[in-house]
Amino acid sequence: MAKIRETLGGRTFGRVGRTRLLIFLSLVGPGFIAANAGNDAGGITTWSVIGSRYGYDLIWLLVLLTPVLAVVQEMNARIGVVTGRGLAALIRENFGLKITAFAIVTVMVANFGTTVAEFSGIGAAGKLFGVPPYAGVPVLAFGIWLMVTRGSYHKVERVLLALGFVLVAYIVAGVMAGPDWSAAAHAAVVPHAQLDGLWVFTVIAAVGTTLTPWGQFFIQAAVVDKKIPLRQYVYTKYEIFAGSIFMTSIDLFIVLACAATLYKQGVVVSSAEEAAMALEPFLGVVARYLFGLGLLSVSILAAGVLPLATAYVVCEAFGFESGLDMGFTEAPVFNGIITFFMFVPAAVASIPGLPLVAVILVAQVLNGVLLPVILLFTLRLVNDERVMGEHVNGPVYNTIAWTFVLALIAMSVVLVLSLVFS
C-alpha cells in the first residue's frame, strides 16, 4: 500500500507539475514582449555606445535596473489583471481628461519618433546584409502591418516572441569577444561614476531605453487583451521577472562585446550599425552578421509593438474599441492608428539624409521626461485600495519604485542644470 501511495503521489505531483508548466507557457507573452521591445534600435545603440565609451564601468547600472524593470512591469501588469482596464483608461477615470490628454499627446509624439528609429534600424540592418533601406523598409513595413492588423492576438504574440528570442545572437557575440570576466564582475558590484554632463545624459538614456513609458501602457493593455485571469496571474508575474532578466542579460552581452574590443582600441561608436561594422576587424564577419541579425529582429519587434502600444493608449484614453482580434469594421480607430504609425514612420525613415540622431534624441528626451510622470500615475493607482483592493503594493515594492522615481527626477534636474550652465 505504501508503494502504491508513493506511486500515486508521484503521478499526482507529476501531473500538477506538468499542469503548472503548461499554464506558464500559455501565459508567456506580455512580459517577454514588453521587455525585449525595449531592446530596440535605440536600446542596442545606447548599450553599444556605453560599452565602447565606458568599457565595463556601467555594468552596475544594469544590475540595478534589472529589479527595477521587473517591479515596474509587474505593477502595471497587476493593475491590468485586477481592474481589467488599461493604464490610459485608469488615468482618465482617476485624474481627469486634461491630464490624460497631455500625457497621451506626449506619448504619441515620443512614440512616433521612436518608431521612425525602429524602421531606421530595419534599414541599417538591411544594409549590413546588402539590402538598401528604400527596398527593405517598405516591404517589411507592409509585412508587419499585415501581421498585426490581420492576425489574432495569439498569432501576433507568437511571432513577436520568436523575434525576441533571436536576441540570443548578442550573447554569442559577447562570448566570442572574450571579455575580462573578473573586470566585468568587479564593475557589477562596485559603481563607477563620473558625474559630468555627458555621463549623466548617458545614464538617463540607458534608463529611458530600458524602461519606456509606452512599455508600461503596452504591458497593461496586453494582459487585458489576453484576458489573463487573476487566479493565474502568479505565472504572468514569473514570466515578467524572467523577461526582465533576459532583457538586461542581452544588454550585458552587448556591453561585454563592445568593451572587450572597441573600448580597448579607443573606438567609440554612435549607432548599432557602426558597432556591427567596427566589430568585424576584431571578431570577424560572423560578429557583424550576428549584430545585424539582432538589430533586424528587434527593430521588427519594436516596429510592431510601438504602433500597437500607441493604438491601445489612444483608444483606452478616449473610449474607442480596441483589440487585436477586432478588424477595421469593429475597431476603425484602433486599426487606423496602427496603420498610420507604421507606414508614415517607415516613409520618413526611407528619406535619404534624414538626421536620425536628432529624431532619436528628441524621442529619448520625451521618454525620459515622461517616464517619471507615468510612474507617478502607476504608483498612485497601485496603492489605491479603491482600485486594487487587497492587491496594493507592499513596502518592498514601494521602496524600490519610489527610490527609482526620485533618483530619475534628480538626474533629470542635474542634466538640465548642466546643460544650462555649461
pLDDT tens digits, 106-132: 788 878 888 888 898 888 888 888 888
Task: Judge whether 368 and 139 are in contact, CB under 8 Å.
Answer: no
Integer Cα distance of 316 and 387 in angstroms:
17
The upper half-sphere exposure of residue 177, i.e. CA atoms within 13 Å in the direction of its Cβ, equals 35
Q: What is the pLDDT of residue 157?
A: 65
| CATH 1.20.1740.10 is right for the domain spanning 23-421 | yes
For cell 534628480, the residue is 410
Q: Quick one: cell of 322?
A: 480596441
- Tell me the pLDDT tens digit for each residue of 274-289: 888 888 888 888 888 8
Q: What is the pLDDT of residue 195?
A: 72
Say how many C-beta atoms besides its own lie within 10 A of residue 192's C-beta: 15
Integer Cα distance of 262 and 291 in angstroms:
14
Q: What is the pLDDT of residue 57?
A: 95
Positions in the chain whose pLDDT score sits under 70? 1-31, 35-37, 151-154, 157, 161, 164, 354-366, 368, 415-422
Integer Cα distance of 308 and 335 in angstroms:
9
In the chain, domain spans: 23-421
